[in-house]
């Protein structure tokens, strides 16, 4: 029997997320799956883009699903109690339940993620963590799969999760075939980092001038003693206040800023890797490669290929 997948469209559903699920599981070429869209009362659903989606089923459709996927939705209010009840019942029957992007807020409201790790779009991770402190939110991964429950990050990461589920169900060959049809990479590991927007240097009142000075001198060898002299503090005072202001030690913060600077140069220049490493204070291309892999699990070459501005 084909594996039946139901997408649960909540009010304000993100059309791209819903279409992603439909493209993977509802395409006519995929005979291994059947696909349907469900909503609370089977009524038309308004998308976050301002147009509505019709011809949907009501929540009874979830009773026949082997997998239920909740696409992202905005605003991500707590769903109706009937919706949460049907999701919990489906899970208790053994149905696999997954979310794409902010669909994690609906999945979190069921309690099925309590005590587990989960992800969502990095911009919404802080709110998910605040609303559901029982969940360990990982904002820097593409997807998290616990077997019967899974979550993905935003936008294209939903494709990665869907292909991962296909790979679990039917193997690498079928997943690769679907990826070729969709013209997307056949596999990105769930632990690969989301490409989070580089954060600006903190501009707290106490350290604004110091952090600006550091960013302007990343190519130099910077020690805690150098920073303390510039800030007119003892090394001990500098270290203690730096952790209080930034949450990192001075050397940890400097290293992070060097990687951020390297990312900007990879995006906006054609400089060779060793020149980028020297200009950002990382020293060598191999050091640049090691730290970029550690922070976002991508090589400099692949990062440039993906994000080169031209």
The pLDDT of residue 204 is: 44
CATH classification of the domain holding 112: 3.40.50.880
Is the residue at 54 inside a domain? yes
The pLDDT of residue 201 is: 45
Q: Are residues 163 and 227 in the same domain?
A: no
The pLDDT of residue 205 is: 45
Q: Are residues 142 and 54 in the same domain?
A: yes
The pLDDT of residue 92 is: 96
Is the residue at 242 inside a domain? yes
Q: Are residues 46 and 178 in the same domain?
A: yes
Q: Are residues 58 and 167 in the same domain?
A: yes
Task: Using a pLDDT cut of 90, give the percent of the chain over it.
Answer: 60
Q: Are residues 147 and 236 in the same domain?
A: no
Which residues, in sequence order, are CB contacts of 177 under 8 Å at separation 6+? Answer: none
- Rounded to the nearest 10 degrees, what angle do helices 300-307 and 250-268 cross at? 50
Out of 147, 165, 182, pick the residue that ends a domain. Answer: 182
Task: Using a pLDDT cut of 70, give the percent of the chain over it.
Answer: 92
The domain tally of the chain equals 2
The pLDDT of residue 107 is: 97
Q: Are residues 177 and 219 in the same domain?
A: no
pTM > 0.95: no
The pLDDT of residue 12 is: 95
Q: Are residues 33 and 118 in the same domain?
A: yes
Q: Are residues 23 and 134 in the same domain?
A: yes
The pLDDT of residue 182 is: 87
Is the residue at 153 inside a domain? yes
The pLDDT of residue 174 is: 87
Give dist(CA 67, CA 87) in Å, integer. 11
Is the residue at 201 inside a domain? no
Low-confidence ranges of the chain (pLDDT < 50): 199-205
Is the residue at 195 inside a domain? no
The pLDDT of residue 189 is: 58
Query: Which residue range is the domain that position 133 belongs to?
Result: 3-182
Q: Are residues 127 and 81 in the same domain?
A: yes
The pLDDT of residue 271 is: 94
Q: Are residues 87 and 178 in the same domain?
A: yes
Is the residue at 197 inside a domain? no
Q: Are residues 14 and 124 in the same domain?
A: yes
CATH classification of the domain holding 228: 1.10.10.60
């Amino acid at each position: 029997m084909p594996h039946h997948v139901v997408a649960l469209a909540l009010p304000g559903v993100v059309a791209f997320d819903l279409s992603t699920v439909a493209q993977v599981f509802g395409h006519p070429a995929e005979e291994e799956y059947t696909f349907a869209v469900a909503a609370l009362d089977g009524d038309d659903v308004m998308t976050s883009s301002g147009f509505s989606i019709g011809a949907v089923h009501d929540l009874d459709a979830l009773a026949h699903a082997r997998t239920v996927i909740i696409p992202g939705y905005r605003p991500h209010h707590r769903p109706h109690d009937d919706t949460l009840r049907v999701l919990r019942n489906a899970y208790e029957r053994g149905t696999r339940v997954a979310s794409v992007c902010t669909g994690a807020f609906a999945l979190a409201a069921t309690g099925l993620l309590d005590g587990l790790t989960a992800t969502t779009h990095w911009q919404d991770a802080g709110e998910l963590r605040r609303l559901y402190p029982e969940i360990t939110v990982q904002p820097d991964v593409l997807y998290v799969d616990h077997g019967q429950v899974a979550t993905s990050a935003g936008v294209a990461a939903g494709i990665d999760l869907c292909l991962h589920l296909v790979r679990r169900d039917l193997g690498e060959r079928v997943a690769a075939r679907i990826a070729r049809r969709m013209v997307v990479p056949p596999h990105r590991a769930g632990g690969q980092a989301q490409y989070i927007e580089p954060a600006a240097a903190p501009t707290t009142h106490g350290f604004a001038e110091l952090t600006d000075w550091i960013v302007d001198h990343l190519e130099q060898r910077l020690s805690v003693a150098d920073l303390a002299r510039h800030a007119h503090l003892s090394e001990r005072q500098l270290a203690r206040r730096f952790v209080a202001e930034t949450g990192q030690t001075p050397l940890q913060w400097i290293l992070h800023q060097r990687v951020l600077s390297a990312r900007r140069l990879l995006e906006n220049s054609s400089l060779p890797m060793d020149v980028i490493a020297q200009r950002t204070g990382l020293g060598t291309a191999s050091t640049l490669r090691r730290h970029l892999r550690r922070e976002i699990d991508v090589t400099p070459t692949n990062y440039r290929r993906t994000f080169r501005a031209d």
